[in-house]
Structure 1
């Protein structure tokens, strides 16, 4: 594994451990292998998955962060965008919409959000999607039963609804969850202009490295506005990125 990739993954794991608020965790499957991880998060509230603990197998490709991590659920769950047989996931954040700005943490947050906002019209599991579209109440019943059986969720009293995964709840939560993912993505820029940082990202550097170089050189954040850097600063940043300063 390249030293840059190893440093980034190690930093991402450390950042996740430092963030106790999100209640997301990641650990290497083997202590000396940062390319194979195991993620964990709780089922989101007001969904059939509430109270369950969900484990995700994570494999880091050699091209990371320019290619997304390969993730699949270890915990069985009843969800239209997750295979009920293999745990394979249908999520654009882990495929066409992946960006080097994203992290293992933001990917796991996206998975957690997916449990709140299923997309039955773009399914990984057609049987589950069909049930959600035709009979949302039956879908909730089966999803909750699986959460109790496979994810350790507590049983609810008879007549107590989970409150999620209906058409109404999907519409209500969709925008909120998208905003949360976008906020996490932009936080990686530490207040600098996204366009300014991305000009270096387009040269093949990852966002955390560019931001660290900017902060080391002392580049003004200019309240997040884009602007042209002086040539001397460009040289200092580039030298820092290439470990020459």
Structure 2
């Protein structure tokens, strides 16, 4: 299958040229299911946290985007309580077969650094982010300490 070859190559590339703050490994030796460990960016309220993210690649990859879900609870306007996230490149209308897993992971890292309250999954968190950044940061830091500690 072309998808397994592409996914395998992307995994090898990420192993050979790792991205700072991100490690990836297949789950249960299944090339279609990855677990990523994403370190909270140092310039964010998530600093010091380690966030586990599942990536499930469909057989149709790269023509269909992988399903990406946070396994670690996080206080973020673009990530809901179930770990679903709202990041533009994963939306079906924006997905391009040329998009690689590393680009998705970098987009998630960027989202941790700079939430996008205009495309929020949790309106109340987005509102707090826009109106009281100090309170938002304090709550996000508390979640990171409580749920994302190594």
Q: 2:52 aligns with which of 45, 50, 55?
A: 55
Aligned-residue offset at 1:21:
4.6
Q: Give the structure with the larger helix fraction.
A: 1
- Structure of higher RCO (CA pairs closer than 8 Å, 6+ residues apart): 2
Residues of 2 paired with 1:21 and 1:109: CA distance? 8
- Asked if 1 retains the 8 angstrom alpha-carbon contact of 2:21 and 2:41, the reply is no
Residues of 2 paired with 1:21 and 1:118: CA distance? 20
| Structure 1 pair 21–82 and aligned structure 2 pair: CA distance change class (3 A) | closer
Q: Which residue of 2 aligns with 1:130?
A: 127
TM-score normalized by the length of structure 2: 0.93
1:81 aligns with 2:83: no
Q: Give the structure with the larger strand fraction.
A: 2
Q: Which residue of 2 aligns with 1:46?
A: 43
- Asked if 1 retains the 8 angstrom alpha-carbon contact of 2:32 and 2:57, the reply is yes
Q: Which residue of 2 aligns with 1:109?
A: 106
Q: Which residue of 1 aligns with 2:63?
A: 66
Structure-to-structure mapping, 1:117-196, within 5 angstroms? 117-152=114-149
Deviations 1:142-177 (A, max 9, x none): 000111111117xxxxxxxxxxxxxxxxxxxxxxxx
Aligned residues: 149
- Asked if 1 retains the 8 angstrom alpha-carbon contact of 2:75 and 2:139, the reply is yes
Residues of 2 paired with 1:24 and 1:122: CA distance? 24
Q: Which residue of 2 aligns with 1:242?
A: none
TM-score normalized by the length of structure 1: 0.58
3-state DSSP of counterpart to 2:117: coil
Structure-to-structure mapping, 1:18-29, within 5 angstroms? 18-29=16-27
Which segments of 5 or more consecutive residues in structure 1 lack a partner in the other structure?
154-245
* Structure 1 residue ranges (4+ consecutive) displaced by more than 4 angstroms after TM superposition: none
- Specify the structure having the higher radius of gyration (Cα): 1
Aligned-residue offset at 1:86:
0.3
Structure-to-structure mapping, 1:6-21, within 5 angstroms? 6-21=4-19
Residues of 2 paired with 1:62 and 1:21: CA distance? 25
